[in-house]
Chain A
Amino acid sequence: MMKIKKLPNIDRRAYKGLFKPENPQKYKGNPKKIVYRSSWEKRFMKYCDKTKEIIEWGSEEIVLYYRGVDNKSHRYFPDFYMKVRQPNNTFKKFLVEIKPKKQTRKPQPGKIKTAYYKRELLTYETNKRKWATAFAWCKKHDMSFKILTEDHLKTF
């Protein structure tokens, strides 16, 4: 029989695109180059754009440097930067990372430690390092670092 070549599953590709803000003056950076890399990010961008309390926001505009698992320096771009007006009329700055809930928890090994598990563990360790850096950096700069999962974003 003739072998049929499998076509790539288009649906599994990452949901990615350009976001057009309604209030470009609020955006810190180039408002023509706002890229969302997941539907959750897109949802959060809409929220930032429309919410009055968020005075300023940016997507992947801040660079942090962390040491990776290979003991080399790498760059980390937190997903969002926000400047928010608090109820007492003060301002607070946030760095926000959006991740699936699954990736915020340590992967559990099955009976056989598969390559998939190892890859997951590596991703988890890398993420942990990124977040530890971001957390410490935010503390130093009087900001706060938040990781949002789908649980948080469902309410937006």
Chain B
Amino acid sequence: MTRIINLTETKRQEFTPEDVEYNSKYWIKSDKFNHLRKFMTLVGYKALPFKSVKWEPIEGISTQKPRSSGSNEVKEELEESIRDGWILKEDPLHVISYLGNIFHGTGKTRYEILSSIYNYKNAPTAIWEPKGKTEFEQISNIEATQIFLNSKPKSAIAGYSTKEDIKKMLISTAQRYKKAYPNFTDLDLQDVLTKQKDKATKGDIRWKGTKLSPIINEVMDIESNKNLDIYTYDNDQKVQLAIETLKCYDQKKLYFPVSMETATNAVVKGILKAVAQKKQVYITPYLKSLPTSKQEDYIKVFNSKYKKFVKQYKIVLNLIKPSFQKKVFLLGAFPMVKAEHAEHEPVKPYDENKKTS
């Protein structure tokens, strides 16, 4: 797992232009760096400029309190080691800078990170910052990298490249996404999970030819917003989504779907809502949901029954033409109808063993 190091307590380490120039051939201009950059770009990182990294000591190695001998040897040695340590001597470490903290991708403790730098053995070849506009995106990038770079201690590698790991990672992503965006839909979630899966596995030979969409399916089953699916329309959000998918959708208009039982009530309710918002009212009832079989009759009935109401609020009744409905029907967008088949009987999964009369 990643560890967070707080770097806020101490002073900034400065580098001279000569330092930067000298070390660039071991860092940005090196072949290894270029190789790694391809991968890191793929998983959503950018390399930080050499000077922008805050190389500062942290708690554990004190910078404020000098030792009993007088001078702070540890601090001095650490500073030197960081400066000299830019020369690549061994395999690269995976270090990420994020919001002023450094994440270490190898699963080592921060003591180990520091001691490795301190001992001149492992110098970080690059400092990476996760891309992303929001905190959610940035953390997701960090998480996906853990799978992609397989950045655990070597002893744990065998148990890390399994489908279970990817599932865990996707579940945590989904949970974080739900927190960040409480009004999410299934469509949003599946896009987020697919992106995250791609980041963690695309271009990785270990996962070539492996079908990972069943894992997303499992995660969707666990984490999707079951109260907000797009097939039943029993709350306002769902209805809004359904209406927006209509071909005739116009942002300027207000839509109020009505059912057969509550057609008139819903219209009145909708009008009162719209009036509160000071908007012109357009009503688009679906043909089959009207109390009368003909749409023109419905307008007559409504107008005669609510004559004053219609005059007072300047209501325009706007009905979908039957020919247009057919088109919508063919496209599969039939959202305005609430459980159409329920008029006949509820649909249950078909049981082959059951004999029908």
Contacts and interface: CB of A to CB of B under 8 A. Distances in A.
A153 interface: no
Interface in A91-150: 104, 106, 109, 112-115, 118-119, 121-122, 125, 127-137, 139-140, 145-147
A136 B191 CA distance: 12
A142 B191 CA distance: 14
Contact of A128 (B194, B218, B244, B334): B334
A113 B345 CA distance: 10
A63 B216 CA distance: 10
Main secondary structure on chain B at its contact with chain A?
helix
B186 interface: yes
B331 A135 contact: yes
Contacts of A106: 340-341
Contacts of A132: 230-231, 245, 332-335
Nearest to B226: A71
B349 interface: yes
Contacts of B155: none
A50 to B, nearest CB: 26
Given A63-B194, A113-B345, A132-B231, A122 B350 contact: yes
B347 interface: yes
A136 B332 contact: no
B195 to A, nearest CB: 12
B347 A140 contact: no
Contacts, number: 91
Nearest to A135: B333
B277 interface: no
Nearest to A108: B344
A58 to B, nearest CB: 15
Contacts of A64: 190
Interface residues of A, number: 40
A72 B220 CA distance: 9
Contacts of A73: 217-218, 220-221, 224
A22 to B, nearest CB: 26
A118 B187 contact: no
B187 A136 contact: yes
Contact of A65 (B186, B333, B335, B350): B186
A74 B217 contact: yes
Contacts of A113: 345, 356
B59 to A, nearest CB: 46
A70 interface: yes
Interface string B220-256: 1100101001110000000001001100000000000
B332 A147 contact: yes
Interface string B173-208: 000000000000011001100100000000000000
Contacts of B332: 104, 127-128, 130-132, 134-135, 145, 147
Which of A65, A109, A139, A140 gathers most chain B CB within 10 Å? A65
A122 B190 CA distance: 24
Interface of B: 186-187, 190-191, 194, 213-214, 216-218, 220-221, 224, 226, 229-231, 241, 244-245, 329-335, 340-341, 344-345, 347-350, 356-357
30 contacts: A63-B194, A65-B216, A65-B224, A69-B348, A71-B226, A73-B218, A75-B213, A75-B214, A104-B329, A104-B332, A106-B340, A106-B341, A113-B356, A114-B356, A118-B350, A121-B347, A122-B349, A122-B350, A125-B347, A128-B334, A129-B231, A130-B332, A131-B331, A131-B332, A132-B245, A132-B335, A135-B331, A136-B230, A139-B245, A147-B331
Given A65-B217, A128-B334, A133-B230, 10 more contacts: A64-B190, A65-B220, A67-B226, A112-B357, A113-B356, A122-B347, A131-B333, A136-B241, A145-B331, A147-B330
Report the 10 A-B pairs with minimum CB-CB distance, sorted nearest first.
A131-B332, A73-B220, A73-B221, A115-B356, A65-B190, A63-B213, A135-B333, A65-B220, A125-B347, A67-B229
